[in-house]
Amino acid sequence: MIKRKSRKDKRQIRHIRIKKRVKGSLAVPRLCVFKSARHIYGQIIDDSRGHTVVAASSLTPQVREMMKDEKKKVEASAVVGKYIGQLAVSKNIKRVCFDRGGYPFHGRIKSFAEAAREAGLSF
């Protein structure tokens, strides 16, 4: 009997495959994205030290203030991407490598990435 993998298991396999190629360093850290059913989370990680440099989510109080009017999840992810981009630029991080976390690059992930690029990050 063949056991089928769930969508979550398939995404985790894709994420591991992506992380093999995408490594963050002190010069070019990794921008990692995770999305749940309601919220979106982003971290800028230095993999050489195993240290999170910047983190933000749709639960961060500053972000919640910025997105009071936003009702859609795509718009909320754009606000989070813009905020994490601003935090990174304030810490002199200009270039990152984008880790989409095994998710397809459309919808909330694409909105997050485009907003981070508009805030000053390049990837």
Asked, for residue 99, whether it belongs to a domain, the answer is yes
What CATH number should be reported for the domain holding residue 45? 3.30.420.100
Contact call for residues 30 and 24 (beta carbons, < 8 A):
yes
Domain housing 112: 24-118
Tokens of 4: 């089928």
What's the pLDDT tens digit per position in 33-68? 999 999 999 999 998 999 999 999 999 999 999 888
Percent of the chain with pLDDT over 90: 78
Asked, for residue 12, whether it belongs to a domain, the answer is no
| Domain total in the chain | 1
- Identity of the residue numbered 65: E
Within 10 angstroms of residue 87's Cβ, the number of other Cβ atoms is: 19
Asked, for residue 10, whether it belongs to a domain, the answer is no
Tell me: pLDDT of 24 over 90. Answer: no
Tokens of 80: 């989070």
State which of 12-16, 18-22, 83-87 shows the largest mean pLDDT: 83-87
Contact call for residues 32 and 112 (beta carbons, < 8 A):
no
Asked, for residue 4, whether it belongs to a domain, the answer is no
